[in-house]
Amino acid sequence: MILYLNGQYVPREQALIPVEDRGFIFGDGIYEGVRSVGGKMFEWAAHAARMDNGLKGLRINFNRAQIDALEAVCERVVKENELVDGEAFLYLEVSRGAAPRAHNFPPASVQPTVFVSASKLVVPRKMRDEGCSAVTFPDMRWKRRDWKTVNLLGNVLARQAAYEAGAYEAILHEDGIVTEGAATNCFAVFDGVLRTHPLTQRILPGITRIVVMELIAEFKMPLLEEPIPFAQLAQADEIFVCGSTTDITPVVTLDGTKIGSGKPGPMTVKLRDAFEARLYQAAGAGR
């Protein structure tokens, strides 16, 4: 595997990061997960904008032009790993860099650490088509979830709870409302109306969520961007989660309870099919 690290394309075993890197010591960094189809980055501009917002929020000295240049880096990493003909997942991280451990920022002369990797993505078609199971879990993350930071311990504990329950995703709740999934955004349908948490500091502005919202508007589906009461979630007619590697995945059981008919609902299926058409058409590739 060939990785990109601080301007160099190197084999994985040669990609070394100092132990004092602030991403390792403090989780002081921003990351992105980008979908590649046929060697092209899906919705790159939206990923770049989100990364820029997070880096500005953390005050890491890495500007928009440097972010934009990472698109070509991603394309080369895909080629170097012979993933052009299929689908791949790109992981990008920018930390504040390596410096002696101190809670305050290091001197401005310290350069950010920049890392990009690519791995083959195999779409779990059966789960996309038939739906998945999910569990609920308390949302214990920090208060700026709109910045995609590498501080993911709350997400990790939630996903482990899902894994131990034999489920795909953990849907998070806080103060009596549903926020999002541990690695996804969450939508539910009640009486023919889609509902999802509005964009605030409490949820991540998902790139797939952006596309889903555009499709909802295109289809003129009823939508309320309002928090879903946690106590009502299990009574939803449909639930789906979405993300860069999740696409639109129906949730057919929640905490062991059947959702709706126990099969993907009509609104979810329509959006899922439209999303996949856009994903593969954008890349000029077939499913």
Residue 116 covered by a domain:
yes
The pair of structure tokens assigned to 99 is 């410096």
Same domain? 35 vs 88 = yes
Examine the fold and report which residue of 94, 120, 146 is the final residue of a domain before the chain moves on. 120
Examine the fold and report which residue of 120, 146, 171 is the final residue of a domain before the chain moves on. 120
- Type of residue found at 257: T
Examine the fold and report which residue of 64, 89, 120 is the final residue of a domain before the chain moves on. 120
Total structural domains within the chain: 2
Same domain? 213 vs 186 = yes
Burial class (CB in 10 A: 0-12, 13-18, 19+), 228: buried
Residue 174 covered by a domain:
yes
Residue 245 covered by a domain:
yes
Residue 37 covered by a domain:
yes
Same domain? 88 vs 159 = no
Instruction: Give the model's pLDDT for residue 115.
Output: 98
Residue 287 covered by a domain:
no
pLDDT tens, N- to C-terminus, the chain (287 residues): 999 999 999 999 999 999 999 999 999 999 999 999 999 999 999 999 999 999 999 999 999 999 999 999 999 999 999 999 999 999 999 999 999 999 999 999 999 999 999 999 999 999 999 999 999 999 999 999 999 999 999 999 999 999 999 999 999 999 999 999 999 999 999 999 999 999 999 999 999 999 999 999 999 999 999 999 999 999 999 999 999 999 999 999 999 999 999 999 999 999 999 999 999 986 665 44
Which residues span the domain enclosing 131? 125-282
Please check whether residue 11 is in contact with residue 1, taking contact to mean a CB–CB distance below 8 angstroms.
yes
Q: Label residue 285 left, alpha or beta by phi (over 0 means left) and psi (-120 to 50 means alpha).
A: beta
Q: Can you give the CATH number for the domain in which 108 is found?
A: 3.30.470.10
Active site residues: 148
The SS3 assignment for 94 reads strand
Q: Label residue 38 left, alpha or beta by phi (over 0 means left) and psi (-120 to 50 means alpha).
A: left
The SS3 assignment for 137 reads strand
- Type of residue found at 132: C
Q: What is the pTM of this model?
A: 0.95
pLDDT digits (tens, 9 = 90+) for 223-259: 999 999 999 999 999 999 999 999 999 999 999 999 9
Same domain? 100 vs 16 = yes
Residues 185 and 204: their CA atoms lie apart, in Å, by 8
The pair of structure tokens assigned to 209 is 């969520």
Q: Where do the H-state alpha helices sit in 81-152?
A: 125-130
Q: Can you give the CATH number for the domain in which 249 is found?
A: 3.20.10.10
The pair of structure tokens assigned to 102 is 């101190």
Instruction: Name the nearest CA neighbour of 190 among 135, 134, 232.
Output: 232
